[in-house]
Amino acid sequence: AAGRTWMEPAALLHSGLIRLPLFGIIEQELPARTNASAPTSPALTRDALHTKMEQLEEQLLSKILTLQKERQAASSDRSQQQHDIEKELNSLQNRVTELEHGPPSYNPPDAFKVTIPVQNNYMYARMKKTLPELYAFTICMWLKSKASGGLGTPFSYSVPGQANEIVLLEWGTNPLELLINDKVAQLPLSLKDKAWHHICVAWTTRDGKWAAYQDGEQRGASENLASWHAIKPQGVIILGQEQDTLGGRFDATQAFVGEITQFGIWDHMLAPAEILAMANCTSHLQGNVIQWDDQVVEVFGGAGKASFAVCEERMKA
């Protein structure tokens, strides 16, 4: 109503407009005048009552302030809370696995694979390392797709302001594509037979030259892909999901389903002979920027790690 102003809870308390019940007794107005011959106990009672009410007022104010702080905390960043919960769940899941089977012993530390068993928007692996500024690169990995449709996204690299800094993606009926700074090259690779394949994509900013390899053989090459662009540093590398924002907002229809191992990144275009040697298991070349190492790869959302040596597996086949 006009002429009325809203008062803070603390101000209401100290103004005397709020009265608190004390042990079931409502404070009543005491007589303004007392008989001089009357005993002094009513005055003592009134002082004790006021003291008790002040204590209760302080307690109520403390409760109000506590509730305000709790409300502010509840409205904090939801995505950070979700990330923390997810990390804790994965930690618990890994701990349960250790208790059941003993701690994983990857020896050497690259003798493992990442498994993403179901197509969804929350299973993935994340590299703890990031990239420096790059003017050329080679990215290689072994992968085994279990998808019935498109391959999905084996890896993506996102930076602030550009979600598609580097992406390898096969979505729906579209062919496999390499995206650099949102520029696109179609790759003539065939990876849908549910078998292990070694793949590499190499690129240089000079004229935007690129090449794509499958099982050691060059399957495609061209130029004018993001010519003279520098790969931006300090981004996020995700295996198994395509990033629509930095490190998140995944789309289940673009997710990779299957297994990945020996993911590595170099800061130059590898020679065809080096790529062939890795695919033939006659060389065990590790990336000079990103290496496949158990301590560098985190899994989330139910994705798993397991001991695995791809070259030994291929010899058994």
Q: List, in order of start, the domains of the chain with CATH numbers.
A: 9-24+41-72 (no CATH), 106-316 (2.60.120.200)
Residue 298, Ramachandran bin (φ over 0: left; ψ between -120 and 50: alpha; else beta): beta
pLDDT of residue 50: 79
Mean pLDDT of 255-270: 96
pLDDT tier for residue 225 given thresholds of 50, 70 and 90: very high
Mean pLDDT of 94-102: 59
pLDDT of residue 68: 77
Which of the two residues, 39 and 215, has the higher pLDDT score? 215
DSSP for 134-196, please give it: BSEEEEEEEEEE--SS--EEEEEEEETTEEEEEEEEE-TTSPPEEEETTEEEE------SSS-
- Whether residue 125 has pLDDT greater than 70: yes
pLDDT of residue 35: 47
- Whether residue 95 has pLDDT greater than 70: no
- Whether residue 63 has pLDDT greater than 90: no
Mean pLDDT of 224-245: 96
The reply to whether the predicted model has a pTM over 0.95 is no
pLDDT of residue 262: 96
- Whether residue 23 has pLDDT greater than 70: no
pLDDT of residue 32: 44
Give me the helices (H) in 23-77, please: 41-74
Mean pLDDT of 137-159: 93
pLDDT of residue 79: 64
- Whether residue 83 has pLDDT greater than 80: no
Mean pLDDT of 97-125: 80
Mean pLDDT of 154-160: 96
CB 112 within 8 A of CB 305: yes
Of 9-18, 107-116, 184-193, 295-304, the poorest mean pLDDT is in: 9-18
- Whether residue 114 has pLDDT greater than 80: yes
The C-alpha atoms of residue 261 and residue 294 are separated, in whole angstroms, by 11
CA dist 315 → 108, 174, 199, 229, 286 (Å):
18, 33, 18, 41, 21
Mean pLDDT of 63-68: 84
Of 29-38, 89-98, 99-108, 150-159, the poorest mean pLDDT is in: 29-38
pLDDT of residue 51: 85
Return the residue matching tokens 């030259």.
Answer: 209
Mean pLDDT of 156-183: 93
pLDDT tier for residue 277 given thresholds of 50, 70 and 90: very high
Query: For a pLDDT cut of 90, what percent of the chain falls above it?
Result: 56
Contacts of residue 234, defined as CB under 8 A and 6 or more positions apart, other chains included, come to 130, 131, 159, 160
CB 268 within 8 A of CB 137: yes
